[in-house]
Amino acid sequence: MNDIQKNLLLYMTKCVAAAGLIFYFSDVFHYSDIVWCLISAILVLSPNAKEALPLALTRVAANFVGSAAILLCLLLGGLPHIVTISLAYCLAISACYLFDLMTASRSALAATTIIMLAPANEAHIWDKPLERVVSVAAGCVVGLAVTLIIHRRIPGAEKAVADDPTE
């Protein structure tokens, strides 16, 4: 098996393992809205074995930056959605730049969008956005855990090539 095939197999394994863990934990914790966990986990995973761990860590940090940006903007309250999301995008991009996370800024913007699109309940306006933050965080943790387990435990996984055409 060549290095590209190993990368593809490892990437498939990581994606399937992350999905399996999310479905398992959703059953254990009786949580049915797992789509955001799945999306966040997949955003953390990398098909390139050589850079999997550093990229996963960067993407997790960027997801937390995006989550914080939208929550700060939601605190302003009463603004039109386009203004809130625009401010959050600008804040997330600026924070990614300041924290040297620009390579993962799309993950930050994805987290911002996921949280912003949570339907608001007038009586409990923070319920859905905070639930989405927890979903994004849970997905990130699962993606990072899968990356750590696979790239620390499988012999040769860390030696796969960097020129992977799947990235």
Assigned token pair, 57: 């860590």
Predicted confidence (pLDDT) per residue in 112-123, tens digit: 999 988 776 655
Helix orientation angle between 3-28 and 127-153, rounded to the nearest 10 degrees: 140
Of 156, 148, 162, the C-alpha closest to 17 is: 148
Predicted local confidence at residue 108, as pLDDT: 95
Predicted local confidence at residue 89, as pLDDT: 97
Question: What is d(CA 65, CA 58) in angstroms, rounded to the nearest whole number?
Answer: 10
Q: Answer whether 63's CB lies under 8 Å from 136's CB.
A: yes
Which residues of the chain have a pLDDT value below 50? Answer: 157, 160-167
Q: Which amino acid is at 140?
A: C
